[in-house]
Amino acid sequence: MDFIKLEKVHNGKYLKNYELTYLNKAGKEKKFELVSRKEITCKEELGLRPSGVSIVAYKQDKLLLLKEFRMSINKSIFNLCAGMLEKGETIEECITRELYEETGLTVSKFISILPPSFAAVGFSDTTTYAAFVEVEGEIEDHSSDNEEIQAGLYTREEVMELMETEEFSSRSQIAAYFFVQGFKPV
């Protein structure tokens, strides 16, 4: 694929829409729509700046999952604690802040923070970190009025049942599957 041009077609408060033009392998022009959280001025900037984090959190032998209303699908699904990096914030600060805002829990141990990966490569250049942490404290709601989140800590058996009866985001479903299989990073 040969890149021809990038054009911003909409500038929303949180999302920017771009149209990319390529020549496909048959030499025909192909348009591709892209959504980004970042301002992009050239193709070299695509996917360069991580925008957030997904947090896989454990407390003893339980996995933290959020039942969260998502406007894009007009219903609640199980999800991981996650959020956007604020300007000047380190990834550890973001993890700590988002975890507290969404659950009231605090980080007791950073287990691992993976390098940024693409969150929705089919339509966005958004990259996020995946973080594995141990947490402490009690669940409390500190979320904004624009969020509807019910945080819970679940045993392997409870997660197995949820996976059979409830809907999940793909990232939380993968974390839940590995948790049920006995995976817990140390």
| Strand positions, DSSP E, the chain | 2-11, 16-23, 29-36, 52-59, 62-70, 75-79, 81-84, 106-118, 127-136, 149-154
Q: How far apart are CA 170 and CA 161, in angstroms?
A: 17
Q: Report the length, in residues, of the chain.
A: 186
pLDDT at 30 (0 to 100): 96
pLDDT value, residue 165? 97
pLDDT along the chain (186 residues), means of 10: 94 94 96 94 91 96 96 96 94 97 97 95 93 97 88 98 97 97 84
CB atoms within 10 A of CB 25: 9
Q: What is the pTM of this model?
A: 0.91
Residue identified by tokens 């992009």 is 40
**Residue 185's pLDDT is what?**
79
